[in-house]
Structure 1
Amino acid sequence: MDPVAVRPATEADLPAIAAIYNQGIRGRGATFETRERSPEELRGWLGRPEHPVLVAERGGRVLGWVAASGYRPRECYAGVAEFSVYVAEEARGQGVGDALMAAFLPACERAGLWKVLSRIFPENAASRALCRRHGFREVGVYRKHGKLEGVWRDVVIVERLLEANLT
């Protein structure tokens, strides 16, 4: 099997990013989103140096992505970003998520971020394990954080400090 290569996402990757994101939306195990997204709707994710977006590919085929986004608009949170990471169903368990996170965290440091965080459904064991392997800590649980198809859902909050930018 060819190795996984990770690189910054481009506009040409948007159809694959949307397809993988839509798999996650349909699966109902990784996001509160219920409406699938088009590549055009995701275009705004690109071109923001302070919020890296990376893709993992093998043999020229995008198998996963990770993206940082703004946390809060207040200036005091300028170095904090939320992130999402998604792997195509057929590529799960093949190290794609690990490759993405291994490249993403240094990219976030280079972007000047000092913390990245996310919220994960408690039963999403794969995402929680991925985060643990890459130095995230589970901070706590937001109970009844949102409704998904009429059912209240909890989320586990994970965070990782990027020490290089905490001086």
Structure 2
Amino acid sequence: MLEFRDLMQTDWDTVSKIYQEGLDTGNATFETNCPDWKDWDFGHIKQCRIIAEINNKIVGWAALSPVSSRCVYGGVAEVSVYVASKFSGQKIGTTLLKTLISESEKQGIWTLQAGIFPENIGSIKIHKQLGFREVGYRERIGKMYGVWRDTVLLEKRSEIVGTN
């Protein structure tokens, strides 16, 4: 049975391995090296760090990153969702993202965004299923291993936070 809890520093060994699996695909992020805990912790919002477990084994994680240090963007965050490769195709990513959306609204987040490589069709599909809409396409936005990459920009506005 899939269960959720807060991501803790003590989870980093397993979380970083799942993250590295994503990095190894070449289609999860522009990151090419898995950061250490200190750098990852600094780059992510302290709330909304979620672990997915099956039988007390970590099978995935989700977290939010701030999009800007300016206070006006305090309710806008970027989504990260990663699932261990051997658990892909079991709707864990969908359930993690759904949980992350709910938790983000409890923390006053009114907009979630994601920049996804167009080759990552599964991730785009999951985001759209959960109410994200495509708001743009950034062509040749960054180089990865010497190759220009594009990203699809998606966002989800909360229907309960920031509506006034």
Using structure 2 for the length normalisation, give the TM-score: 0.93
Residue of structure 2 aligned with 1:161, choices 145, 152, 157: 157
State the AA in 2 paired with 1:7: R
Change (3 A) 1:22 1:28: same
CA contact (8 A) 1:86 1:97 kept: yes
Moved over 2 A (4+): 36-47
In the alignment, structure 1 residue 120 sits paired with structure 2 residue 116: yes
Partner of 1:75: 71
- CA RMSD between the two structures: 1.5
For 2:25 and 2:65, locate their aligned partners in 1 and report how far apart those are by CA, in whole Å. Answer: 22
User: How far apart are residue 125 of structure 1 and its match?
Assistant: 0.7
User: How far apart are residue 47 of structure 1 and its match?
Assistant: 7.3
State the AA in 2 paired with 1:25: L
Change (3 A) 1:90 1:118: same
Q: Percent identity?
A: 34
Deviation readout 1:63-116 (Å, 9 max, x if unpaired): 111110111112211110011111111010011111201211110001111000
Change (3 A) 1:45 1:54: farther
CA contact (8 A) 1:56 1:100 kept: yes
Residue of structure 1 aligned with 2:40, choices 42, 48, 55: 42
Task: Name the SS of the counterpart of 1:163 in structure 2.
Answer: coil
Aligned residues: 163
For 1:62 and 1:6, locate their aligned partners in 2 and report how far apart those are by CA, in whole Å. Answer: 9
Query: Any stretches of 5+ residues in structure 2 without a counterpart?
Result: none
Task: Name the SS of the counterpart of 1:165 in structure 2.
Answer: coil
Using structure 1 for the length normalisation, give the TM-score: 0.91
In the alignment, structure 1 residue 15 sits paired with structure 2 residue 13: yes
Change (3 A) 1:40 1:74: closer
Partner of 2:49: 53
Partner of 2:96: 100
For 1:39 and 1:61, locate their aligned partners in 2 and report how far apart those are by CA, in whole Å. Answer: 20
CA contact (8 A) 1:146 1:154 kept: yes
CA contact (8 A) 1:14 1:42 kept: no
State the AA in 2 paired with 1:142: R
For 2:107 and 2:85, locate their aligned partners in 1 and report how far apart those are by CA, in whole Å. Answer: 29
In the alignment, structure 1 residue 140 sits paired with structure 2 residue 136: yes
Query: Any stretches of 5+ residues in structure 1 without a counterpart?
Result: none
CA contact (8 A) 1:10 1:46 kept: no
